[in-house]
Homo-oligomer: A and B are copies of this chain.
């Protein structure tokens, strides 16, 4: 019985550590990579490593950036007095895809989770507070996920900021557009009814 070659085994085990890639997919990917021209593999590996290396956190909002400031914080036209608070940079990417929001962001890099020992000091709440001190901000839109940690984080931030006289809003929860009411879970449906608007 021949063992799998060490370089292939190592490639498989590294690929299998990525989310959503099991042992079988990793194997399939590794064999594909082995069959690729060396130059193409060099480009792939370099895009992964150099890409990771080029990314740092925006000093203002905590979003991914290639400079000290991310492209949104660096854009004066985005400073419209609104800050949208999200859990992580991929939430920024999701909201940016909508092409609708014109303010800036604040990335918390986590949500409060006492069960996991993650308290207010562990996420970027202090940094958010210091952005509010210069009077240029008038609305904080809290767009953490509609789960237990996201809601707890939203409430915590709202309690901190409201006394400063700023408008604090929470994104709406409800039935997703294009979905079927029948398949919505009860909590989403309850939120949808609670948040109903006059037509």
Q: Are A25 and B20 in contact (CB under 8 A)?
A: yes
**Residue A187, interface by CB 8 Å:** no
> With A and B bound together, what is the CA distance between A14 and B51 in angstroms?
11
Residues of chain B within 8 A (CB-CB) of A14 are: 43-44, 47-48
Residues of chain B within 8 A (CB-CB) of A161 are: none
User: Apart from A2-B72, A6-B66, A7-B50, what 12 extra A-B contacts exist at CB < 8 Å?
Assistant: A5-B64, A8-B55, A11-B52, A13-B47, A18-B29, A18-B44, A20-B29, A33-B48, A33-B51, A34-B55, A45-B45, A45-B49
Q: Are A51 and B8 in contact (CB under 8 A)?
A: yes
Count contacts on A: residues with CB < 8 A to the other chain.
Answer: 58
Given A64-B5, A71-B3 in contact, is the A41-B32 Cβ separation under 8 Å? no
Report A4-47 CB contacts with B as 1/0, cut-off 8 Å.
11111011011101111100010111111111101001111111
Residues of chain B within 8 A (CB-CB) of A51 are: 7-8, 10-11, 30, 33-34
**Residue A196, interface by CB 8 Å:** no
Q: Shortest CB–CB separation between residue A156 and chain B, in angstroms?
A: 23
**Residue A167, interface by CB 8 Å:** no
Q: Are A34 and B64 in contact (CB under 8 A)?
A: yes
Q: Which 8 A-B pairs have the closest CB atoms?
A: A45-B49, A14-B47, A11-B51, A7-B51, A7-B54, A45-B45, A41-B52, A31-B90
